[in-house]
Amino acid sequence: MITVLLVDDEKLIQRSLEKTLLRAGFDVFTASDCTTGKEVFSRNANSIDIAVLDLNMPGFDGNPKNDAGFDLLDELKKQKSNLPVIILTAYDEVSKAKDAVSKGANAFFVKGREQGLVELVQKILGK
């Protein structure tokens, strides 16, 4: 069973993505900000196979922050360096995609194409 950590501060999007991932047969842990995401990961690091992180959400100080997902990416990689990570964003920004990959993410995904996310997770994990 593949286990996904999904971190997104927009409740409707988080719910929609979680349902899509669950329907695809994945286990899903959710969080809505960097601090909670890091805590959930720390408690479940051995069972989490891949992380899907929103790019813009509350940072570690609790305040909304652009690129906060990159901060969380760094923290998760410190705990599990080989963790595959997908960065989520509401916009298709090529420069952000390049930043995400250069910071250690495996991929960059634009919200709103949920089924594509399932296929991307399976492709990254070779399933």
Position 123 in a domain: no
- pTM of the predicted model, to two decimals? 0.96
| Exposed e or buried b per residue across 54-79, where buried means at least 16 C-beta atoms within 10 angstroms of its C-beta | bbbbbbeeeeebebbbbbbbeebbee
Does 73 reside within a domain?
A: yes
**Residue 39 falls inside a structural domain:** yes
| CATH number for the domain that contains residue 52 | 3.40.50.2300
pLDDT tens for the chain, 127 residues: list them: 999 999 999 999 999 999 999 999 999 999 999 999 999 999 999 999 999 999 999 999 999 999 999 999 999 999 999 999 999 988 777 788 889 999 999 999 998 888 899 999 999 999 8
Segment (H or E) for 73: helix 68-79
The domain in which residue 92 lies consists of: 3-113
Residue 125 falls inside a structural domain: no
Considering its fold, how many domains does the chain have in total? 1
Any domain includes 122: no
Within a domain: residue 108? yes
